[in-house]
Structure 1
Amino acid sequence: MRVRIAICDPLPVFRRGVQALLRDAGIDAEAPDDLLAWLRDEQQKMVILTVRTPGDWTLLDELRRAHEDTLVIAILDEASVSSHVRALTTGAIAAIPRDATARTMREAFVAALDGQALVPLRVLRALTSLPHAVQDPATPTEVERAWLRRLAEGTTVNELASHAGYSERMMYRLLRELYTKIGVSSRVEALLRARDAGWLQ
């Protein structure tokens, strides 16, 4: 089955560079203007997503939840172990530093297309040492905790949506999903639960 590949990066030069790199390996990639619209059909997809801003982390998390069959490779500005772990636990199948060599990028893409993931040993060790609570599906992601913190500080849903790069309607939907995930039915209950669980710190 053919996999469609999209590159999502704010810099046209970087997008074209990655497209050329993949083309040299015999892999075609697209650079859609509207990534979420591009994802709507049923064909298997891979997204190469640059993760730099809070909105990018939110998008990565949304891709995991709304398009769980989509393979996401995160391109990271900061190549630290913590940023790799965050990308992988937020939904990426691989994370590559933005300044990675062409060979490293090609190997990661080919491995992902083959159903494999290349993970640096130091990142693998960090992942395997995570406490089990982090992997609890009822525990909010770091992005979701940031939303709860902002709500606790008095941020309106409209302001939160603007900051996260969503419409207000989409933000309400994401918050409803979060409330369901943590077992509550309202913002007040969510903030009380977050306070008791230590998610607001």
Structure 2
Amino acid sequence: MRVSDRQLEVVLKHAIPIERYAKRISEAHELGHGPGSNADICDLGLQRKAQKVWKETLPPPFLSKVADSYGRCAQMMSGALPDDSADGDWDIVCRYLGAVATAIAEDSEQGMNQAPLDMPDIAEMPDVIRYDSLAELMHPDAVEGLRSASVAVARYCRFATQIAPDETQMACLQGLASGEKHADLAERLGYSERHLQRILADMWHQFGVDSAIEGVAFAVDQGWITVPKRT
């Protein structure tokens, strides 16, 4: 079954935080933690151990939310076929999501408490996770494989969906690429700085990036804008 735009949006929402999660574990490896010996990131036994680490700092309602979302995404991915360019990476992310969902769901304590109002969204893996402990479990090759696969899947999702900027977004991107300051850009476009910040934040979320630097670089890669040469 062909992957729909809606499915691609859901997969992208999961692939981005997975990449950041893997990157933080790699950083822990670089700081001297571990490395672990398990080289299969989709191994259920490994994810059961990782789940115990998550439980140290993450509330049961959040973990229950992750399990539900990851499980739904894995099921959806297993029934949808991307083109050959993303097939292998798609499978890795799908199996990883399924393993994490299963490991959490096996724990009967999850979901027993009412979700707190300030519970984080699954689109952001919390900083409180003990990435040093996770580094002790996982081999660097496993972590790099997950990071690489999630990056490839996110790239595929972005390229396969219609996320080209509108006229206002294009003006913002070209202004930022030209070195225009936010205050000057907002005044030129007739917006308050606060409204401009909202436009930019929504655009970075749309592109799946974290900052103006990444957003402008992404727009240049897509051929939407050019960066003026400095003289």
Q: Which TM-score applies when normalising by structure 2?
A: 0.28
**Larger relative strand fraction:** 1
Q: Which has the higher helix share?
A: 2
Q: Structure with the greater relative contact order (CA < 8 A, sep ≥ 6): 1 or 2?
A: 2
Q: Bigger radius of gyration, 1 or 2? A: 2
TM-score (norm: length of structure 1)? 0.32
